[in-house]
Amino acid sequence: IPSGVHGDTGEILGVAVRADHTVAFGLPKIGNMLYPGCGLCGRLHVSHISFPPSLYDDEAIPVDSKFPVEDYQRLLDAQEKADTAAADDASRLLETRIKNEAKDIFKKYIAPPKTTDFGIMFLPSEGLYAEIIRRTTLVQVLQREYHIVISGPSTFAAFLNSLQMGFRSLAIQKRSGEVWKVLGEIKTEFDKFGLTLDAVRKKFEQATNSMDDVQKKSRTIQRKLRSVQDLPGSSAAVLLEDKAETDAEENQS
């Protein structure tokens, strides 16, 4: 972390004019996300940080990091010296710089339908972010005229998460017709499945009834057979032999 930067919050104490990576002043996650553009010497343009295309029809979110060092330093110096007139002048210059940067983002990167109809200006210093965000009139002008939202190290990740949730809801709304169509097809198939199950149930009931009839007839036959007196074993064998000889004679004749 460069000198002049708070190690916990990332806030700039004064201005770290010799910092190598001004994009890493905020949270580590934000620094890692924006680090590849550090070679642009303070003019970092990250134009395609986007979520999966399936969420919102392949639109990208324009994001640009702005850090007006000179204007912010001029304001801090005037405030430290308690020079009200100089502070007012520096404040007006800072607002003008922020408006120009917002206009630059609007012209260069906001291009619906390839991108969203708004962009994000990332201010990589908590001090600068707090200074800008408290100017409600300026923030409203940026949103109304240039469709630019201001974000800082402490809000960037949360803002992206909220956008992700919103895009998911929007995607569901856009595809609600398809969802209802699929649900209708599922209902039709489920009705057919119910009819098939009902037919199978009836077949099982018929098979069960047939088995019951067979068991009833079997018990009836068993009761009748019990009423017949059993022959002795030797008598039964002789009777069977006589019956076989009689059948053979009839076949020969």
**In tens digits, what is the pLDDT along the chain, a chain of 253 residues?**
444 455 555 555 554 444 443 443 444 444 555 555 555 545 544 444 444 444 445 568 889 988 888 899 999 999 999 999 999 999 999 999 999 999 999 999 998 878 888 899 999 888 888 899 889 899 999 999 999 999 888 888 888 887 777 777 666 666 666 666 766 776 677 667 677 777 777 887 787 777 777 788 877 777 766 665 554 555 545 555 555 556 655 556 5
Cα–Cα distance for residue pair 147/181, rounded to 1 Å: 36
Tokens 């069960």 belong to residue = 208
Regarding pTM above 0.75, the answer is no
pLDDT value of residue 103: 94
Which pLDDT score, from 0 to 100, does residue 126 have? 86
Give the whole-angstrom CA distance, residue 70 versus residue 17: 10
Q: What is the three-state SS of 47-102?
A: EEECCCHHHHCCCEEEEEECCCHHHHHHHHHHHHCCCHHHHHHHHHHHHHHHHHHH
Strand partners for 60: 115
**pLDDT value, residue 96:** 94
Residues 6+ away with beta carbon under 8 Å from 1 = 7, 24
Give the three-state DSSP class for 126: helix
The answer to whether residues 113 and 83 touch, using CB atoms and an 8 Å cutoff, is no
Q: What is residue 58's predicted lDDT score, i.e. its pLDDT?
A: 54
- Residue 24: what pLDDT? 39
